[in-house]
Amino acid sequence: MSSSPHKPLVYIISAPSGSGKSTLVNELLKSVRDLDFSISYTTRAPRGSEQNGRQYFFVSRSEFEKMVRDGEFLEHAEVFGNYYGTARRFLRDAEYKGHDLLLDIDVQGAEQIQRKLPEAISIFILPPDRKTLEERLRRRSEDREDVIQRRLLTASREIQNYGRYNYILINDRLPESIEVLRAIVWSERGHRADRPSTDEPTGTMAIADRCRLANIGERLKPILASFELPVESGTG
């Protein structure tokens, strides 16, 4: 390992539930080297095939509260009635290993990280429109109808925060979205002097730049309209 300390790049990914975030994150982790996933702690019960220590560390409320008191979290928040938190040790481990770190967290967590780590790179994933989001939530068939309706309402609220993120990724066609997400990661690495990029295809920066908040412009309008949000929303 090199003697100079490695400052990990921290990527924050947020999205309304059902947008395809888990699918995209899984694909990204398979194909990008030296990128660790921060496994969050949560008080919610495991779903389906979820395993402790893989998607999450599942803990009791009292265990979670003790971790908060002991200062073990970089950020934590209550989401859908359960606690979720990012353990500080994942950042330390990434630093030690010379890796970068990916956080899959909600908009409240993103705000806390942005205050503590202003250089973190934030990505907000959007569905192509409300109807598609509803279809994806149904197709996943993990939730009851009332939960799906609640997730759709929450989605509208969360989407209003898109303006706090560096990049906006509209998850329409999956293969394209994976390519764009990879381009963002590579492009950000390429900007770092201590991380000369070696294996990124040409055009990567241009693909990533199209998703920068400042460049997303007109592509957002129909999405916001489908959620009945004003076009000028986006600052929370």
The contact mask relative to ligand ADP for 167-196 (x = CB under 6 A, - = no) is: ----x--x--x-------------------
As given in the structure block, the two tokens for residue 17 are 């539930």
Q: Summarize as ranges the residues that interact with ligand 5GP (CB under 6 A).
A: 17, 40, 44, 75, 77, 79, 84-86, 104-106, 108-109
Q: Which does 171 bind (CB under 5 to 8 A by kind): ligand ADP, ligand 5GP, none?
A: ligand ADP
Q: Which of the ranges 5-13, 115-123, 134-142, 187-195 carries the binding residues for ligand ADP, by CB under 6 A?
A: 134-142
* E-assigned strand segments in the chain: 10-14, 35-37, 40-42, 56-58, 73-79, 82-87, 100-104, 121-126, 167-170
The contact mask relative to ligand ADP for 39-78 (x = CB under 6 A, - = no) is: ----------------------------------------
The contact mask relative to ligand ADP for 16-45 (x = CB under 6 A, - = no) is: -xxxxxxx----------------------
Query: d(Cα 23, Cα 19) in Å, to the nearest integer?
Result: 9
Query: d(Cα 114, Cα 122) in Å, to the nearest integer?
Result: 8
Query: d(Cα 76, Cα 64) in Å, to the nearest integer?
Result: 10
Q: With binding defined as CB under 6 A, does residue 207 bind ligand ADP?
A: no
As given in the structure block, the two tokens for residue 144 are 């009851």
The 3-class SS string of 161-185 reads CHHHCCEEEECCCHHHHHHHHHHHH
Chain residues that interact with ligand ADP, rule: CB under 6 A: 15, 17-23, 136, 139-140, 171, 174, 177
